[in-house]
């Protein structure tokens, strides 16, 4: 093997000219889309726009190095801004920064404890609801940019959509969103069209952030003040990031390390806090621009999104300030349509889908859109899915009775999964007064999962014993027998 061939085998995939071009251009498009979003989230949190831009820079650059999901974009987000905004209003910016650092520490601990593995318990219907609700929220966030604005915004917006739809038919060498933004900016500046621009959102920073400690007293009182906000931010950030990582896994047909991503989010927030940022997590909209629209697949695009963000603000601030908001809104609207799972709401799909699955999806979407809190929607949707599943499995448990010809005993065959939902009805399936003196309960086709089932069996034995009848339980498999032996008689039996 030649030296050149060996070097190629060790060369990262992103050094390929084609891949490198895709990653660089994708990072540039994402950086442009991050600017107005970061400024908007800064306003929500009640901080200077530069704070949100600094957070987006440090989050993206750090997570590109330590995160578990390639090509996913992390930056300042609205969900995190909503959580920490009350802390900033009541106690000041120093406490906000301290909370961001503590939230990062919480995320590292939760990641090390394996919180990422909990993703396997999130049903597909919740995932679909999560994706659809995010698309709706991103779209709703664009509506104010198209309301009560100069009439010229609308043709620019329409032109932006048309360019992004038609340009890929000519070539895909350059991302269509980048072409759309560039062309619309040139048109508005050259023609002197007065429309809202990025500069109208707020002043861009003129220098890099400087690291430092939060300006708070390092006391237990401070810890008690920031801890609730930090923990809430850690949970919300992890949930958004891990769900987004799962989505990117499906789009790219690759796997990511959820544990590494959780720990990476914590490290990124700690770094962001020490640089005076407002913290953040994964961003679904910008991630979809990067992965689905621009075709990026490596960490380089994430790193460059953060690096380009600062370069655009500090070096090309005047040019970036002239970008019409209509161009960026068009990009985000197209992302919404690309993100939304239209197949999930197609009449043909809804006819075939179980009603419980549809209910879970609708509940997830409704909760997220109503509360603007993705964590609330995902948790509520998951709980709904558990209830639906429990009811469905509970119906599979059945009891059939066979009485011996001589009438000396009756054998009850119990089939299915015995747990709290199914065992609650188990007690009422026996004829305590009419059965003979000997009763056999055959559990060879059943499995005992919890203490509720053991308590139900104890209650059945107790009711028969009150009538002077004996009960024999047979057919227990190994795990069921161990659980029954350890708990039987130790639980309060129902009379």
pLDDT at 494: 44
Tell me the C-alpha to C-alpha distance, in Å, between residue 366 and each of 129, 300, 310, 333, 341: 9, 36, 37, 20, 16
CB 219 within 8 A of CB 30: no
For residue 473, the number of C-alpha atoms closer than 13 Å in the C-beta half-sphere is 20
pLDDT in tens, 160-188: 999 999 998 898 778 888 899 999 999 99
Q: Which residues of 472-484 are buried (b: 16+ CB within 10 A; e: fewer)?
A: ebeebeeebeebb
State how beta strands 281-282 and 74-75 pair.
antiparallel
User: DSSP class of residue 197?
Assistant: B
Query: What DSSP string describes 4-32?
Result: HHHHHHHS-GGGSHHHHHHHHHHHHHHHH
pLDDT at 492: 59
Alpha helices in 395-468 (DSSP H): 420-423, 451-466
pLDDT at 263: 96
pLDDT at 5: 56
Residue ranges in the chain modelled with pLDDT below 70: 1-15, 492-495
Rounded CA Rg of the chain: 29
pLDDT at 493: 45
pTM of the model: 0.77
Distance of alpha carbon 53 from alpha carbon 41, whole angstroms: 9
3-state secondary structure of 448: strand
pLDDT in tens, 438-479: 999 999 999 999 999 999 999 999 999 999 999 999 999 999
% of the chain surpassing 90 pLDDT: 59
User: DSSP class of residue 324?
Assistant: B
């Amino acid at each position: 093997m030649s030296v050149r061939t060996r070097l190629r085998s060790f060369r990262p995939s992103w050094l390929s000219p084609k891949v490198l071009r895709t990653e660089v251009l994708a990072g540039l498009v994402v950086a442009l889309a991050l600017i107005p979003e970061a400024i908007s989230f800064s306003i929500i949190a009640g901080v200077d726009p530069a704070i949100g831009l600094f957070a987006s820079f440090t989050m993206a650059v750090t997570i590109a190095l330590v995160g578990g999901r390639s090509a996913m974009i992390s930056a300042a987000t609205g969900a995190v801004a909503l959580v920490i905004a009350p802390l900033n209003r009541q106690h000041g910016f120093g406490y906000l920064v301290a909370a961001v650092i503590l939230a990062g520490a919480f995320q590292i601990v939760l990641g090390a404890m394996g919180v990422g593995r909990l993703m396997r318990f999130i049903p597909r219907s919740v995932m679909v609801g999560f994706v659809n609700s995010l698309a709706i929220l991103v779209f709703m966030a664009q509506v104010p940019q198209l309301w009560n604005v100069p009439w010229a915004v609308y043709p620019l917006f329409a032109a932006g959509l048309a360019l992004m739809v038609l340009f890929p038919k000519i070539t895909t060498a350059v991302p269509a969103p980048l072409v759309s933004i560039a062309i619309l900016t040139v048109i508005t500046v050259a023609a002197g069209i007065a429309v809202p621009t990025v500069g109208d959102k707020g002043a861009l920073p003129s220098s890099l952030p400087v690291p430092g400690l939060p300006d708070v007293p390092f006391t237990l009182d401070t810890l008690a003040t920031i801890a609730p906000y930090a923990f809430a931010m850690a949970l919300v950030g992890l949930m958004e990031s891990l769900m987004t990582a799962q989505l990117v896994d499906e789009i790219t047909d690759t796997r990511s390390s959820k544990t590494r991503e959780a720990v990476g989010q914590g490290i990124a927030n700690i770094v962001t806090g020490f640089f005076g940022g407002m913290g953040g997590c994964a961003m679904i909209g910008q991630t979809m621009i990067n992965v689905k629209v621009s075709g990026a697949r490596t960490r380089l695009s994430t790193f460059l999104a953060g690096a380009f963000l600062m370069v655009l603000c500090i070096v090309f601030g005047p040019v970036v300030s002239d970008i019409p908001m209509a161009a960026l809104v068009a990009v985000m609207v197209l992302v919404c349509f690309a993100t939304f799972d239209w197949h999930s709401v197609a009449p043909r799909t809804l006819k075939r889908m179980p009603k419980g699955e549809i209910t879970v999806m609708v509940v997830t979407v409704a909760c997220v859109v109503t509360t603007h809190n993705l964590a609330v929607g995902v948790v509520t949707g998951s709980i709904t899915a558990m209830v639906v599943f429990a009811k469905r499995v509970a119906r599979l448990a059945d009891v059939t009775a066979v009485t011996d010809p001589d009438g000396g005993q009756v054998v009850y065959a119990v089939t299915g999964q015995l747990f709290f939902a199914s065992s609650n009805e188990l007690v009422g399936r026996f004829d305590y007064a009419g059965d003979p003196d000997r009763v056999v309960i055959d559990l060879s086709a059943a499995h005992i999962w919890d203490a509720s089932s053991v308590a139900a069996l104890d209650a059945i034995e107790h009711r028969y014993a009150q009538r002077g009848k004996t009960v024999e339980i047979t057919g227990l498999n190994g795990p069921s027998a161990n659980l029954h032996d350890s708990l039987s008689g130790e639980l309060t039996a129902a009379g």
